[in-house]
Amino acid sequence: MAYDSPHGLIAAAVIVQTLVFVMIGSRFVSHRKRRLTLHTSDWLIIAAGVLSTALAIEQIYGAATGILGVPVGPLMKSNPQAVPDFLYTLRQHNYSFVVTGILAIGFIKTSVSFFYLQIFSTQNHSPFIIAWIVIMTLWTISFFTAFLAICGDHGLFSSRFFSDPKNVKKYCGNTQQVDFGLLISGTISDLVTVILPIPMIMKLNLQLSDRISIAGIFLIGLLSVGASTARTYIGIYTKFAPKDKIMDAGLGVTATCVWTLIEIQVGILAACAPTIRPVLRDVVKNGLVGSILSSARSIVSRKSSRSNISNSDSTRPEHRLKRSLSGDEKPGITASTEQVHDS
């Protein structure tokens, strides 16, 4: 990816954020068509969407004003006096992306976990999902607080006072440990969040090929894991790369900001993908896209066509998957049988 192209950064932010708007909007249009109330997972996605929008605007602004996508090296040769102010402004943008990104990514992973709870709310599965929700909530709060208070009562890490590495070392300690902890734990927790429902899906009363097909829908989230891995690699590489291969300071910050936003945007897209089937069914009833997106519905529908299913079977995970993925959930059913719970 070309990090030194401001126009490319602007175009990428606009295009992907537009897709985010479309997916979030489709999610709630789908809910309205099915006459569903909003769950905790929906509110968390809204919050993540707001933060994603804020960071997309910041990326556009930074690229348009000559902050992001600009290497420091040429500036040091042409105008050395301007370098301190440029690095300070760059530092502020980086800090903003880190802190806001923690909240947005935390909201996404918690939202997805609550969605799992809506589908797999059984005695065998619920404790694991609830435990993961608690872990992700603590992860978000802990790292958000850590980066706000990393320098104690001496001010925010993004302040001009801490532009001096000597002040950072004296008052903030080893910030590298917190930084690496965030990056590595973020990537690992992304992966766990994506694969969490796979064992549950594999235990469903379906054919193996059907279970694999349904699992594939949830594994779309691996795209977000890929973005998180790229951000972690860049963060670690810029600290340990040989001096002759180290990335320019300005482009290194740009790369970190870009992949933070990509991880958030792709995470939102993946989180909304399983919920928008009714809208896509109306838009593309035929063709390859429609066939792929309707596969989960046809798979589960075949298993629910037996005439001897009791009324209590509507609480089985297979049927919750059908309602959630296919858009066949009907209004007016009691919460204990058709509505899914967040907790």
Q: What is the pLDDT of residues 118-136, one digit of tens each?
A: 888 777 888 999 999 999 9
What is the model's pLDDT at position 283? 57
Q: What tokens were used for 130?
A: 């609830």
pTM above 0.85, yes or no: no
Return the ∠ at Cα 293 (arms to 290 and 296), rounded to 5°: 130
C-alpha separations of 337 from 118, 125, 246 in Å:
12, 17, 58
CATH architecture of 6-281: Up-down Bundle (1.20)
Q: State the chain's mean pLDDT as an integer.
A: 81
What is the model's pLDDT at position 195? 93
In this predicted structure, the answer to whether residue 252 has a pLDDT above a threshold of 90 is no
What is the model's pLDDT at position 175? 85
What is the model's pLDDT at position 119? 83
In this predicted structure, the answer to whether residue 282 has a pLDDT above a threshold of 70 is no
- Residue 126: count other Cβ atoms within 10 Å of its Cβ: 15
What is the model's pLDDT at position 211? 83
Q: List the chain domain ranges.
A: 6-281
DSSP 3-state of 324? helix
Categorize the per-residue pLDDT at 182 as very low, low, confident or very high, splitting at 50, 70 and 90.
Answer: very high
d(CA 262, CA 20): 11
**Per-residue pLDDT tens digits for 131-176:** 999 999 999 999 999 999 888 888 888 888 888 878 888 888 888 8
Q: What percent of the chain has pLDDT over 90?
A: 40
The residue among 149, 150, 155 whose CA lies nearest residue 177 is 150
Asked whether the beta carbons of 231 and 260 are under 8 A apart, the reply is yes
Relative orientation angle of helices 40-64 and 6-33, to the nearest 10 degrees: 160
Contacts of 184 (CB under 8 A, 6+ apart): 232
What is the model's pLDDT at position 298? 55
**Per-residue pLDDT tens digits for 21-72:** 999 998 888 888 878 888 999 999 999 999 999 999 999 999 999 999 988 8
Relative orientation angle of helices 126-148 and 175-195, to the nearest 10 degrees: 160
What is the model's pLDDT at position 308? 45
What is the model's pLDDT at position 215? 85
Give the mean pLDDT of 291-319. Answer: 51
